[in-house]
Amino acid sequence: MNVIFIEPSFPNNQREFVRALHAVGANVIGIGERPVEYLDDEVKGWLGHYEQVRSVVHEPSLLAAVRKIQGMAWVDRLEATVEAHIMPAAKVREATGIPGTSVKTAYLCRDKPAMKQALREAGVPCALSTRATAPEHVSEFVAKAGFPIILKPTAGAGASGTYKVNNAKELGPVMHACGLDQGHEVAVEEFIEGHEGFLDTVCINGEVAHEFITHYYPNVLVAMRERWISPQMVCTNRMDAEGYDDVKRMARKVISALGIGTSATHMEWFYGPKGLKFSEIGCRPPGVGHWDVYNAGNEFDIYVEWASALVHGRPMQSPSRRYACGMIALRPSCDGHITGYEGIDEVNQRVGDCIVRAKLPEPGTPTQPVEAGYMANAWMRVRHPDYDTLREILDFIGQTVKVHAR
């Protein structure tokens, strides 16, 4: 099978998808923005061919590259795993007759107001929401839903550009920051109180082949705003617990309603006083290398499972569920340059056997802002057979490790 993979080397974990496709027998054809000389020898060895384009999100350039490749060989699949690449890939896929995620599905998985409308019509519980292109649209929504509300990009990812607005006094400055007074478009949503988590799948022909549930501690909007917090994302190994049944049923409803076929998915949800509410979906794997968390907790290779789904239409292994596994972000004390660490020796002595991987940038390394994400600075990936014990270990690490900067 000939599979085109978009941007095989950046960000760094993109190479894992290329490796996996090669491992299951695909002839992998890369399209990327960097010269072929930029690719390391391993990636080059996994690729049967490579085409450089000026931008993988510039649809005419991507289309021309795909048509050039089709002139040399039959193309069975065209795949992308980065949020910004999903829609360009779908449009080119449709223009060239290559099977895979449709433009309609890609749009519904990216445009939050359209996504929620489609899911409400399918009976999936979601927050009240609307699309706004002017301040009066927000005012009309507030008149119905009340405060607090959320304003965010219609096609954003994570908490980037997301604001919680608690009252009318805060609303004006936030609408200005979002560009609403200049005609920019935003998604406006009812704020949902409750615990936040996500469910990730690998689907084959619309059926769930693999699924994993992860919890945020604390919720993303708080974690991405407060420097003092060492936020955690923790994947449970208690997938059969009764409390997850509703989340799993909701995920399957979403997959069906949005027409998702063979693909990875990343679905966020809230559970609180108003019950279980769907938040949003990406028709792609999760970010921040979270598939590596699933590998460490389940002693298998989810990249290969994804590749096997695409190439062979079947899973190859079952996850062991032996470990709960999570990652914790460790923030520098301020922006600047890292000067050193405190508490690392104590952590290694007490729980070092549970640490799967850690990134501790060398002193002198420039820091990244809190908003840059969970893996922007220092972090640790940790596992333990018992979920509650893992949570205690992660809390201990967050309370003990200090990343000094100036």
Share of the chain above pLDDT 70, in %: 99
Residues 337-355 pLDDT 10s = 999 999 999 999 999 999 9
Greatest Cα-to-Cα distance within the chain, rounded to the nearest angstrom = 61
What is the average pLDDT value for the chain, to the nearest integer? Answer: 96
- At a CB cut-off of 8 Å and minimum separation 6, what does 25 contact? 1, 311
Residue matched to tokens 């360009």: 88
Q: ω before 218 within 30° of 0 (cis)?
A: yes
- Could you tell me the domains of the chain? 2-100 (3.40.50.20), 128-190 (3.30.1490.20), 195-405 (3.30.470.20)
**pLDDT score at 392:** 98
SS3 for 42? helix
Report the run of H or E that residue 356 belongs to, with start and end. Answer: strand 355-359
Residues 228-255 pLDDT 10s = 999 999 999 999 998 999 999 999 999 9
Helices 344-351 & 387-400 angle (0-180, nearest 10) = 160
Residues 15-63 pLDDT 10s = 999 999 999 999 999 999 999 999 999 999 999 999 999 999 999 999 9
Residue matched to tokens 């469910």: 199
| Letter string b/e over residues 176-208, b meaning 16 or more CB atoms within 10 A of that residue's CB | eebebeeeebbbbbbbbeeebbbbbbbbbeeee
